[in-house]
Structure 1
C-alpha cells in the first residue's frame, strides 16, 4: 500500500472500529472509552488483522494529549477547588502517596528498580478526568456536594501529575533513567532541575500576566467580526500554538502549555462558546489518543502475567478506593460521600498513559510495565460503572449493621449539631433552608437583611464552617437524614425552603419535615419546568423555577412601564 494513504487508512480503521466497539460498550452501559481502547488493540501490530501505522498514530495522539489537557484547563475552576480545598487538597495528595507506595511496593517485590517502581506507582495513582466527568454527569452528580468533592480531588491530582510531567525529565538520571538533555553528573542534574523550575515559573508568569489578558482580548476582537469559523480557528490556534510555544520557547512540556491555554481561555467572557466550538474536535482527537494507546497494548500479557495484572487492578480499584474512603471519613464527611469519592477514583486513564509514555522515553519503564498499566486502565474503567451501581447496596449493607454505621458516620461530629451559642428562643418560627448554593445564598441574605431567623442545612462542611464564622446557624449533613432536620429544629420552624436538587431527595426531605412538623409550609426551587410540574402534581409544596420567575418578573416590569407611559 502506498505510504501517502497511511494516514487515511489509519483514520478509516481507527474511527470505524472505534465507532463499532464504542457502540457495543455504550450498549453494555460501559464508558465508550473502553471501546476505543479495544479498537486500538484490534489494529495493533500485536494482534492479527489490519494494522494501523503506529508512528502516525503517536503523532495524532500528541494532538489528542494537547486537546485533552486543554479541556482539563478549561474545566479547572479555582472557585470550585477552594470550596472543597480542606478535603480535596490533603485528601488527593495523601491518596496519591498511598497509591504510589502500593505501586512501589508491588513493583519492588517483582524485582524492578526504584525509579521504575516509582513511575509505575505514580501512573496508578491518578484517575481519568474523562471517565470521572462522564460517570458523574450520567448520574446527575456533577453539581452535588459529592460530585464537587470528587472533581476538586481530581483537579488536585491533575495538578500534581502536571508537576510530575514537568519534573520527571529533570530527575530521570537520578532515578536510573536517561536524561533527554543528556546531562548525567550531579552538578548538571541540580542545574537541570533548577533551570526546569525557572523555565516553568517563567512560562506560568507569562501566561498569568500576559496570556490571561492577551488571549481574551484576541477572542473578543474575533467575536466582533461575527465569523464562527474564525472563532473556532482562534480557539484551536490558542490550544496548539500555546502548547507548542511552551515547548519551543520555555522548554516545558506541550501538555503543560495546553493546560494553561485552557485556563486562560476560561478567563474570557466566551469560554462557554469556546468549549462548545472545540468539543467536537477535542473528542475526535481524544478518540484517536485512546485508539493509539490501545495500539500499544499487547493482549498476550493477560495470559502471560495474570497475577501481575490482578495486582495492578487491586491497587487501582481497592487500594485507591479504600484510601480515599478512609480519608473522606476522617474529615467527617458522610458515608455516602466516602463511597462516591472512592468509586470516582477507582480507575486510571489519560494521565497514566501520558506518564507511562514519558517513562518509556526516559528509560524508566519497559513495554511490559506499559502493558500492565494499559491492562489496569482497561479493566478498571470497565469495572468503574459497576462500582457506582454498588454505592447504594453497600451503603444499605453498612447501615444495616448499626455499630459499623455509627463508627463510620461519626455521629459525634460537632458540625452535625447546632453550636451551644444558638439561643433556644432563636429556634422558634425560623426558616430552615436546605442547601447553600447560589439560590440558598441569595435567599439567606435577603431574609437576614429583614431580620428573619434562618437555619441552614448544608452537606458541604466547609460552607457550614464559613457560615458559623459569620454567626449564622448551620448544621452539616444530608437533609434526607431525619437527624439533620431535627438538629435544624424543623419541628418548631414555620417555613422549609429546599434548594434545587434531585426530585427523589426533595420527596424524602418533605416527608421527614411533615412527620416532624405537620403544619410547616414548604417552598421548593425546581431545576426546570418538567420537575416543577411533577412537584405540583404531587402537591408537596409551592414550587418556583428560574425561567418561570424571570418571565413573571419581566412581564410585571413591562406592564409597569406601559402603565407609566399611559399615565404621562
Structure 2
C-alpha cells in the first residue's frame, strides 16, 4: 500500500511538472505524459517494472476518449463536409496506410506489424489540430474546413481499426474473413441496440436523474453509461472503445451532451494522461540513440508524404492550391490514436515493445513540431508556392500623382478605408502579401501591390516619396514599428496612422514616429459612449468636443480599468499591466492632512479624488488629502500596492 501510494504521488507530481513545462514551451501535454512514462518506465528510472496492471487501468482512458469523441461527433457536420469526408478522407487513409505497409514489408517486417504501423501512421492528431485551428480562429476558413473534414473520417477509421484489431490478434488467416463478417454483424446488432436505447431509454433515464438536482447522481449516471456500453461490447467479444463511441454518439444528439461532456472530462483527462504515460513506458532511449537517424528520416518522410497526399487529393476535389497545401501541412503529423493502436497491439502480443517504441518515437517527433508548423503554415505555403504562382498585373500609381495614401494591408479594414477615400476623391494604393486577395482586388481594377510593406523597395514602388499619408491597417505592432522606421527614413514628412488592438504599444509607436495611433478597443468604447450620450439627448457638438478632447489626450481617460479575478500579469508587449485601484483614506491613514506633493508616489498617477460625492479629476499637487477621500491610483500592480501602503501607513 505504501509503495502504491508513493508511486501514485511520484507519477502525478512528475506529470503536473511536465505538463506545466510543456505548456510554457507551447507544446502538447500529450508529449509531457509520454516523457513521464519514459522516465518512470523500465527503460527510465525503473519506478514501474510491471506494465500489465497499469495498462489495464489505462484502457479506461481509451473508453472515455471514445465516449467523448462520440459526444462531439456531429452527423450534420459530417454531411456538410461529406465531399471532403468521404472523398479525400478514405483515399488519404488508404494511400498513406498502403504506402507504409509496402515499405514495412520491403524492410522485412511481418504483415500484421506492417498493417498496424500503416494504420497508426495514417491518422493525424485531432486533439492538436482542432485546438490549434480553433485558437487561430481558422475553423471556418477553407483549409480549416478541409482539415476538419479529413479528421472526421480519420476518427471514424480509428474506431473501425480498434474494432478490427482483436481479429488480427487471432492470427488465423484462414478464418479472417469469417471473423470479420461475424464482427461486423455484432457491430451492426450493437449499433441497433444502442440506437434504440439512446433514442427512448437513455434520455428518460437522464431526465429522471436530472430531477434529483444532485450533481453526484448525474456524474455517476454518466460514468455508468460509458462503462456499461464498454462492458456490453467487451461481453460480445468486441472492442470496449466501440461501445463507448456509439453510446456517446447517440447521447451527442440530446440536450444532455454538454453537461455529460463537462462531467466526464476530468475522468477522461486523468485516465488519458495515465494511458499516455503507459505508452511512454514502451520507449527505449537506447533504441532511439541507436536508431535516431532512421527515426528522424522516417518522421520527416511520413510528414512529407502525408502533406503531399492531402494536397493532391484536395486539389483533385477542386480546392485552391494554397488551401490544399496548407491543409496538407496541418495534417502531416501522426496522431494520438496511433498510440492507442500500438498500446492495444502490444497488450494483444501482436507487436513487440521494441517495434512499438520505434513507432511511438516517430509519432512523438511529428507531434512535437506540429504547433509551430500550423502557426507558420501560411508563411510556408506562400514560400513554397511563390515560384509557381503568377502574381497578377499590378496597377501602380502614375508618377504624376502626389499626396496620395498608402495602405499597408488590404484586409477588411484596409478595403473599407479605400472605399471612403475613393468616395472623397483621394488617390490611394494598397500593399498586401496575400496573393489570392491580390488577384481578387486586381481583377476588380483596384490599385494594389504585392510585397512586404516594411521593405524600402516596396514602399518606393508605392510612391512613398510623393505620398501624404501612410496607414497601417493590421494589428501587428512590431511590424508596424518597422514600417514606420522605413517610411520615415525615406520620407521624413509623411504622416503615419496606425491601427492597434489596445493601448499597449501606443507610446512605442508614437515614439517611432506615428502621428496617430488608433486602439480599436478604446475606439469601440469611445463610440459606445458617444452613441449612449446622443441617445440621452446630449447635444451633438458637446459629444463631438468630448471625442476630440479624448483623442487629443491620447485616450488618457480610457486607460486602465478595475480588474476582476483574472488580472493579467503583463500586457501583450511583456510590460507590467497597468490598472486602476481605489484607496479610501480611513482615520488612521498617514496621508490625511498632507498635500499630494508631500506624498511622493513612485511610478503611479493619481487619476482622481472622490470627496463627498464629487470627483476631482487630475487633481493638482497642492490639494490636501482629507479623511474619507477615495484616491484613484493608476499604474502597475507592484507600484500601486506600494503607493497604497505609502498613503495608508506612511
CA distance in 1, matches of 2:329, 2:388: 23
Secondary structure, counterpart of 1:481 in structure 2 = helix
SS at 2:254 equivalent: coil
Q: Give the deviation of 1:53 after TM superposition.
A: 5.0
Q: Unaligned 5+ residue runs, structure 2?
A: 393-411, 413-433, 448-472, 476-518, 532-650
1:115 deviation in Å?
Answer: 2.7
Q: Deviations over 1:300-332 (max 9, x none)?
A: 111122243124312432111121122122222
Aligned partner of 1:46 in structure 2 is 43
- Structure number, greater radius of gyration: 2
Distance 1:360 1:142 in 2: 36
TM-score of the pair, normalised by structure 2 = 0.60
Which position in structure 1 is the counterpart of 2:363?
Answer: 377
SS at the partner of 1:47? coil
Aligned to 2:103: 106
Partner in structure 1 of residue 295 of structure 2: 309
SS in 2 for 1:305: helix
Rounded to whole Å, the distance in 2 between the matches of 1:132 and 1:11 is 31
**Distance 1:303-1:98 versus aligned 2 partners, 3 A rule:** same
Matches within 5 A, 1:83-482: 83-170=80-167, 172=168, 178-179=170-171, 184=172, 186=174, 188-248=175-235, 250-403=236-389, 481=437
Post-superposition shift, 1:38?
Answer: 0.4
Alignment CA distance shift 1:235-1:490 (3 Å): farther
Larger helix fraction of residues = 1
Higher relative contact order (CA 8 A, sep 6+): 1
Q: Is the 8 A contact 2:322 2:385 kept in 1?
A: no
Q: Could you report, residue by residue, the CA deviation over 1:414-451 in whole angstroms, capped at 9, with x for unpaired residues? A: xxxxxxxxxxxxxxxxxxxx9xxxxxxxxxxxxxxxxx
* Of 66, 72, 76, the match for 1:69: 66
TM-fit CA distance, 1:52: 6.4
Deviation (angstroms), 1:11 = 2.5
Q: Residue by residue, what CA displacement relative to the aligned partner does 1:538-560 show, whole Å, maximum 9, x if unpaired?
A: 99xxx9xxxxxxxxxxxxxxxxx
Q: Using the alignment, how far apart are the partners of 1:83 and 1:100 within structure 2?
A: 26
User: Would the alpha carbon gap of residues 7 and 200 (structure 1) be closer, same or farther in structure 2, given more than 3 Å must change?
Assistant: farther
Contact kept? 1:132, 1:345, Cα under 8 Å? yes
- Give the match's secondary structure for 1:296: coil
Bigger Cα displacement from structure 2, 337-346 vs 200-209? 337-346
Shift of 1:111: 1.1
Shift of 1:143: 4.5
Q: How far is 1:221 from its partner?
A: 1.6
Deviations 1:39-69 (A, max 9, x none): 1111011113533652332122111111111
Identify if the C-alpha distance between structure 1 residues 479 and 393 changes in structure 2 by more than 3 Å, giving closer, same or farther.
closer
TM-score (norm 1): 0.68
Contact 2:58 2:271 in 1 (8 A): yes
> What's the CA shift string for 1:465-520, capped at 9, x where partnerless?
xxxxxxxxxxxxx99725557889999xxxxxxxxxxx969xxxxxxxxxxxxxxx
Residue 584 (structure 2) aligns with? none
What is the match of residue 33 of structure 1?
30
- Deviation, 1:185, is 7.3
* Contact 1:120–1:369 (Cα < 8 Å) also in 2: no
Unmatched segments (≥5 aa) in structure 1: 407-433, 435-477, 492-502, 506-530, 544-568
**Preserved CA contact (<8 Å) 1:316 1:376:** no
Classify 1:394/1:479 alpha carbon distance in 2 versus 1 (closer, same or farther; 3 Å): closer
Q: Determine if contact 1:43/1:295 at 8 Å carries over to the other structure.
A: yes
Distance 1:23 1:332, change over 3 A: same
User: Structure 1 315/395 Cα, relative in aligned 2: closer, same or farther at 3 Å?
Assistant: closer
Distance verdict in 2 for CA 1:213–1:199, change over 3 Å: same
Q: Give how far 1:212 is off.
A: 3.2
- The corresponding residue for 1:59 is 56
Q: CA deviation at 1:228?
A: 1.4
CA, structure 1 residues 21+484, in 2 after alignment: closer, same or farther (shift >3 Å)? Answer: same
**Structure 1 residue 254: deviation in Å?**
0.4
CA gap of 1:362–1:285, structure 2 versus 1, over 3 A, is closer
SS of the residue aligned with 2:263?
helix
